[in-house]
Amino acid sequence: MDIVRIFDTTLRDGEQSPGCSMTVPEKVRMARQLESLGVDVIEGGFPIASRGDLEGMRAVAREIRGCTVAALARSRRDDIDAALDALSGAAHPRLHTFLATSDLHLHHKLRMTREEALDSISTNVRYARERCAEVEFSAEDAIRSDIDFLCEAVSWAVRAGATIINLPDTVGYAVPEEYAAMFHRVIEYLDGADGITLSAHCHDDLGLAVANSLAAVRAGARQLELTINGIGERAGNAALEEVAVLLRVRQATLGVTTNIHLDKLYATSRLLTEITGVPVAPNKAVVGANAFAHEAGIHQDGILKNPLTYEIISPEAVGVPKRQLVLGKHSGRNALRAALVEIGYAPTPEELDECYQRVSALADKSKHIHNRDLLTIAHQVLRKRGTPSAVAAE
Residue 386 has a pLDDT of 57
Among candidate residues 223, 245, 276, the one where a domain is terminated: 276
**Do 231 and 334 have their domain in common?**
no
**Do 177 and 267 have their domain in common?**
yes
Residue 385 has a pLDDT of 60
φ, ψ dihedrals at 140, nearest 5°: -55, 140
Q: How far is CA 100 from the centre of its chain?
A: 24
Looking at the structure of the chain, the number of domains it has is 2
**Do 126 and 265 have their domain in common?**
yes
Domain membership flag for residue 286: no
Domain membership flag for residue 283: no
Residue 392 has a pLDDT of 42
Residue 322 has a pLDDT of 87
- Distance between CA atoms of residues 371 and 348, nearest Å: 20
Q: How far is CA 101 from the centre of its chain?
A: 26
**Do 206 and 310 have their domain in common?**
no
- Distance between CA atoms of residues 348 and 357, nearest Å: 14
Angle at 306 between CA 303 and CA 310, to 5 degrees: 50
Domain membership flag for residue 390: no
CATH number at residue 90: 3.20.20.70
Low-confidence ranges of the chain (pLDDT < 50): 387-394
Q: What separation in angstroms does the CA of 82 have from each of 42, 47, 54, 95, 302?
A: 17, 6, 8, 10, 57
Reference 76, options 132, 136, 121; nearest CA is 121
**Do 244 and 326 have their domain in common?**
no
Domain containing residue 342 = 293-385
Question: Please, how many CA atoms are within 13 Å of residue 225, restricted to the half-sphere of its CB?
Answer: 31
Domain membership flag for residue 202: yes
123-148 tens-digit pLDDT: 999 999 999 999 999 999 999 999 99
134-186 tens-digit pLDDT: 999 999 999 999 999 999 999 999 999 999 999 999 999 999 999 999 999 99
- Distance between CA atoms of residues 292 and 52, nearest Å: 39
